[in-house]
Amino acid sequence: MDSFKKILHDHLLPLLPPDARSLDLQSLVEVPEDLSLGDLALPCFRLSKLLRRSPMAIAEDLAARLVLPPAFRRVEAVKGYLNVHLDRRTYARSLVQTILELGDRYGASEFGHGAKVIVEFSSPNIAKPFGINHLRSTNLGACLARLLAFTGHHPIRLNHLGDWGTQFGKLISAFRRWGLETELERLPIPHLLSLYVRFHQEAAADASLEDEGRAWFARLEQGNPEATALWQRFRELSLAEFSKIYARLHVSFDEISGESAYGQDMLEVEQALTQAGLLSESQEAHVVDLTDHGLPPALIRKKDGATLYLTRDLAAAISRQRRYEFRRMLYIVGAEQKLHFSQLFTVLRLLGHDWASACEHVDFGLIRFKEGTMSTREGKVIFLEDVLDRAAELARSIIEERNPELPDKETVAREVGLGAILFFDLHAKRIKDLVFDWTEILSFEGETGPYLQYTHARLTSVLRKAGTLPEQLPDLLELTDDAEFSVLRRLAEFPEQVQRAVEKLEPSIIAKYAIVLAQDFNTLYNLKRFLDAPEPSRTALLALCAAIGQTLRNALSLLGIAAIERM
């Protein structure tokens, strides 16, 4: 609709008094929900105060004097609104032709002007399982990076591994006590998880184990050869396992590093805090007092000399700005870390880093079990790999039941299962908690990823049976009834929805748009005979079908979901 809004703006402006011509009328133009009220509407209420006339009088005056090109059918004044009706055949041809010509770039823009945006996401902990709880950050971050790239930004996908901290001292202690080389080689992550769980069970009865764990981490920070060798081995085995999951999710990164990479940078951070007079001692620990900023003290180094997440994140942020000179940095991390990021950004500002205002915590809700939250310490973890496997198995069983002759069933089953999981994660606003439920997450009915994939397969089936469309569409497309025009208006919304999703950092906007577009097509499919319609309606309907398919494909691509052609 934007091009038609621009035409309307250009024709209205000369009709206004000179002192009112600075108004951006295009931004005021609305798209009425009710088709009977026109295709575009200019509310004249804001003009009323400026022109000192009633909105109804302004609308009536503009309607009487406005002369528009043939693409506009009629103009009318209704209760203070200037309602504009388009010539539907002209509009249909313009929109469908635009979508088909732009193809995979329909909805894209150069809004970002190449600005570098660091997107830190996924960030699993070394030596711990890649559980279903890691899905949110991984999936949301990958989707936001795709949206940023689609709108002309330069996203830098960064995986900041949790590979440092006291927990590694505990794990080293546990492995030295109870670890088995054969199990570490055979099932590295499950074995390390079992050791971590056992450590905390034993420590509940023997508090000295906690001291032992802290002592081993202190040795690791000091470069102890045995501690370092075990830590490196745990890290390498973990990365090998993580890479398998990322391959299945179709997720990649521009940089994979960890907290351990910032040893020297952490020392520089502490020196800078000392020189700025910000570092003080409290109960033998080093802290930054943030009382004046309404925050508790920021702990920089514990009394045993160990560094913390905050120390490492300060060092990482300063290093990234130095290396990348980013315009913006997004941390895709759960809402439970809100305090951590408030402290991080405040300390950065206190150090004089003005770019701290470009750092943002993109928070999200938790994935919960019906019986409670997940805990690595207690061993209550669902492995994401198991979820992916089970989803693929369910999809395969449905395919065997409905279409046993489908080519390449294994690939289709994997992608449909993955689509179910990714859409489950993205369909709700990111701040909402999600309850993990096998029945819901793997449902293949209703507002789900498989529903979108099935709709896309139905679209491609129609076009496959129809043969090729003419290279040049007719000057006018016979898409004039309300059902057809409603779908056209939905297609026209896509670029705006993409823009909204980027501005709000909210992938659910695209997920919900895709569902509504798919529902619109399926409703139209039940009303119209696409293949048997007489000309020129047949060509128009098939062109509309191709435009819907392209737009749905673009939405699915942004969501990371495969557009299946046969199901």
Strand 81-86 and strand 116-120: the pairing is unpaired
Please indicate, yes or no, whether residues 423 and 489 belong to a single structural domain of this protein: yes
- Write out the two tokens for 539: 């060509």
- Residue 23: give its domain's CATH number: 3.30.1360.70
How confident is the model at residue 438, as a pLDDT?
Answer: 67
Please indicate, yes or no, whether residues 61 and 129 belong to a single structural domain of this protein: no
How confident is the model at residue 382, as a pLDDT?
Answer: 80
pLDDT tens for residues 165-205? 889 999 999 999 999 999 999 999 999 999 999 999 999 99
How confident is the model at residue 60, as a pLDDT?
Answer: 96
How confident is the model at residue 330, as a pLDDT?
Answer: 98
Q: What is the chain's mean pLDDT, rounded?
A: 92
The predicted model gives 45-52 an average pLDDT of 90
- Residue 452: give its domain's CATH number: 1.10.730.10
- Write out the two tokens for 347: 């300390």
Please indicate, yes or no, whether residues 260 and 158 belong to a single structural domain of this protein: yes
How confident is the model at residue 376, as a pLDDT?
Answer: 47
Q: Lowest-confidence range among 267-276, 302-311, 315-324, 419-428? A: 302-311
How confident is the model at residue 398, as a pLDDT?
Answer: 87
CA 45, 51, 56, 58 dihedral sign is: negative
How confident is the model at residue 24, as a pLDDT?
Answer: 86
How confident is the model at residue 141, as a pLDDT?
Answer: 98
What confidence category does residue 305 fall into, taking pLDDT thresholds of 50, 70 and 90?
confident
What confidence category does residue 420 fall into, taking pLDDT thresholds of 50, 70 and 90?
very high
Per the structure, the complete domain to which residue 447 belongs is given by: 385-429+439-559
Strand 116-120 and strand 72-78: the pairing is unpaired
Please indicate, yes or no, whether residues 181 and 269 belong to a single structural domain of this protein: yes
Counting Cα atoms < 13 Å in the Cβ hemisphere of 139 gives: 30
Contact (CB, 8 A) for 117 and 148: yes
The predicted model gives 463-489 an average pLDDT of 88
Please indicate, yes or no, whether residues 546 and 466 belong to a single structural domain of this protein: yes
How confident is the model at residue 371, as a pLDDT?
Answer: 54
Instruction: Count other Cβ atoms within 10 Å, centred on residue 53.
Output: 15
Please indicate, yes or no, whether residues 193 and 164 belong to a single structural domain of this protein: yes
Please indicate, yes or no, whether residues 248 and 391 belong to a single structural domain of this protein: no
CA 416, 421, 426, 429 dihedral sign is: positive
Dist. CA 464–CA 14, nearest whole Å? 49
269-295 as b/e: b if 16+ CB within 10 A: bbebbeeeebbeeeeebbbbebeeeee
DSSP letters, 41-82, are EEE-HHHHHHHTS-HHHHHHHHHHH----TTEEEEEEETTEE
Q: What is the DSSP letter of 277?
A: T
Please indicate, yes or no, whether residues 71 and 137 belong to a single structural domain of this protein: no
Please indicate, yes or no, whether residues 410 and 518 belong to a single structural domain of this protein: yes
pLDDT tens for residues 456-474? 999 999 999 998 887 778 8
How confident is the model at residue 84, as a pLDDT?
Answer: 96
Decide if 566 is inside a domain: no
- Write out the two tokens for 215: 């002592």
List of long-range contacts for 65-73, beta carbons under 8 Å, 24+ apart: 65/15, 66/11, 66/12, 66/15, 67/11, 68/7, 68/8, 68/11, 69/7, 71/4, 71/7, 72/4, 72/7, 72/8
Q: Which residue has the higher pLDDT, 130 or 158?
A: 158
Dist. CA 125–CA 120, nearest whole Å? 14
Please indicate, yes or no, whether residues 79 and 138 belong to a single structural domain of this protein: no
Please indicate, yes or no, whether residues 136 and 206 belong to a single structural domain of this protein: yes
pLDDT tens for residues 220-278? 989 999 999 999 999 999 999 999 999 999 999 999 999 899 988 999 999 999 999 99
pLDDT tens for residues 524-566? 999 998 998 898 999 999 999 999 999 999 999 999 999 999 9
Q: What percent of the chain has pLDDT over 90?
A: 76
How confident is the model at residue 437, as a pLDDT?
Answer: 75
Decide if 294 is inside a domain: no
Contact (CB, 8 A) for 421 and 353: no
Strand 367-368 and strand 154-161: the pairing is unpaired
3-state secondary structure 423-487: HHHHCCCCCCCEECCHHHHCCCCCCCHHHHHHHHHHHHHHHHHHCCCCCCCCCCCCCCCHHHHHH
Return the ∠ at Cα 462 (arms to 458 and 466), rounded to 5°: 165
Number of domains, the chain: 3
How confident is the model at residue 441, as a pLDDT?
Answer: 66
- Write out the two tokens for 356: 């701290």
Q: Which residue has the tokens 């994660």?
A: 425
Please indicate, yes or no, whether residues 492 and 546 belong to a single structural domain of this protein: yes
Which of 316, 334, 368 delimits the end of a domain?
Answer: 368
pLDDT tens for residues 58-90? 999 999 999 999 889 999 999 999 999 999 999
CA-CA-CA-CA dihedral for 527, 530, 536, 540, to nearest 10 = 90
Residue 444 has pLDDT above 90, yes or no: no
